Structure formats: C-alpha cells, structure tokens
Amino acid sequence: MSEVKLTAETRTEFGKGAARRIRRDSKVPGVLYGHGSDPLHLTLPGHDLLLALRTPNVLISLDIDGKTNELAIPKSVQRDPIKGYLEHVDLQLVKRGETVTVEIPVHTEGELAPGGYLLEHVLNALPVEAEATHIPESVTVSIEGLEAGASIHAKDITLPSGAKLAVDEDAVVLQVLSAQAEEAGEGEEAGEGDEVAEV
C-alpha cells in the first residue's frame, strides 16, 4: 500500500463562511484526530485530496505547516450531494505498526448461473483489522455459477495476508435471490389483461 503525500496547513477560522472561503481557494477543510490528542483543524489541497480518495482507505502522509509529519487514513468524507465536490474530510491519526479497523470494498467476479437470478450485496464493504500501513484496497469474491439461495459469508472470503475479520464470521456478505417474485407480478398483470379482454 503506497502513501500519498499531502501538504496541509493548520486553520484557525471556523464556520460556514470560513469553509466557503477555503473551498473558493480550491482547498478542503478537514480535521485530524486520534490517539487522545486534541483535534487538529486543517486546510488540505482540494485536487490532490480528491485524487488520493480514489483509493479506499488511502494512507496519507501529511506535511503540516512544514513542521510536522503525520500519517492518517480518511474516516468520513462529505461531498456536495449535487456537484460532488469535497466539502469536508475527517482524518484518523495512525502510527506505523498500529492495527486499525476499516471497511474494504467487496468486488465480484464471474457470472451467476443462468436463470435471471439477482445478486444482493448485504454488506457493500467488509470490516477488517489490518496494520495501518498495509490496509488492503479491496477483496474479490467469485460468484461463478451460483444459484438462488446461495450465500457467501464473511468466513468464505479469502483475506489478504495480515488482515483479519472485524465482523462475525457467519455474517452474510452476498446472497443470490430468485427473480420469481418479479415474474409472478408480470404474470398477474397479464392475467388481469386477459380478464378485461373477455369482458
């Protein structure tokens, strides 16, 4: 897992007005917290942060005011619901060698068995524990040939080396559903149409 280096500045202005001014300068307000220290309010470079956040649980090396260097991972990202730009980010302070709990995306590969089955993501992300500088970006699960009623549990997923589950091993992550209910609905509509035609 590579580190992304960002230059940050401490900020002393707060409130919506200050946040708008920061965003007008193509920057993003943020807060760094953790390890029992007081929250540190920061201003971060907007474009560079946006690129960094494309990687889930990215490890960020922060150069703060050119004086201190800290490692952090994103914990909460707020975006404008319409335009999608970054509004605010919360960063969690981490140390090398420290174990952290994060959620990693679950990707699938392969095709379900023929039959119009539906795949439901019960968990869109899988909670795991990993060393702060070796957080896996994602896990991939094969759904090849699965039929209705099949489920994939947390314990069925092979985790990258060094990572372990932070959720009940029997938790359902993915399940395959039958499309029969939808077909039955269409059948009922067709039946109603037939009755109208007979009248």
How confident is the model over 48-61, as pLDDT tens digits? 999 999 888 899 99
Q: Which pLDDT score, from 0 to 100, does residue 2 have?
A: 67
Average pLDDT over residues 58-78: 92
Q: How confident is the model at residue 197 (pLDDT cuts 50, 70, 90)?
A: very low
Pair 98, 132: CB distance under 8 Å: yes
Q: How confident is the model at residue 195 (pLDDT cuts 50, 70, 90)?
A: very low
Architecture of domain 101-183: Beta Complex (2.170)
Pair 115, 85: CB distance under 8 Å: no
Q: How confident is the model at residue 15 (pLDDT cuts 50, 70, 90)?
A: confident
- Give the integer Cα–Cα distance in Å for 180 and 80: 39
- Whether 3-94 shares its CATH topology with 101-183 is answered no
Q: What is the average pLDDT value for the chain, to the nearest integer?
A: 86
CATH code reported for the domain at 3-94? 2.40.240.10
Q: How confident is the model at residue 174 (pLDDT cuts 50, 70, 90)?
A: very high
pLDDT > 70? residue 138 = yes
Q: Which pLDDT score, from 0 to 100, does residue 127 have?
A: 95
The upper half-sphere exposure of residue 78, i.e. CA atoms within 13 Å in the direction of its Cβ, equals: 10
18 against 105, higher pLDDT = 105
Q: How confident is the model at residue 199 (pLDDT cuts 50, 70, 90)?
A: very low
**SS (HEC) of the chain:** CCEEEEEEEECCCCCHHHHHHHHHCCEEEEEEEECCEEEEEEEEEHHHHHHHCCCCCCEEEEEECCCEEEEEEEEEEEECCCCCCEEEEEEEEECCCCEEEEEEEEEEECCCCCCCCEEEECCCEEEEEEECCCCCCCEEEECCCCCCCCEEEHHHCCCCCCCEECCCCCCEEEEEECCHHHHHHHHHHHHHHHHHHHC
pLDDT over 70 for what percent of the chain?
89
- Give the integer Cα–Cα distance in Å for 119 and 112: 8
How confident is the model over 151-173, as pLDDT tens digits? 999 999 999 889 999 999 999 99
pLDDT > 60? residue 19 = yes
pLDDT > 50? residue 178 = yes
Residue extents of the structural domains in the chain: 3-94, 101-183
Q: Which pLDDT score, from 0 to 100, does residue 151 have?
A: 96
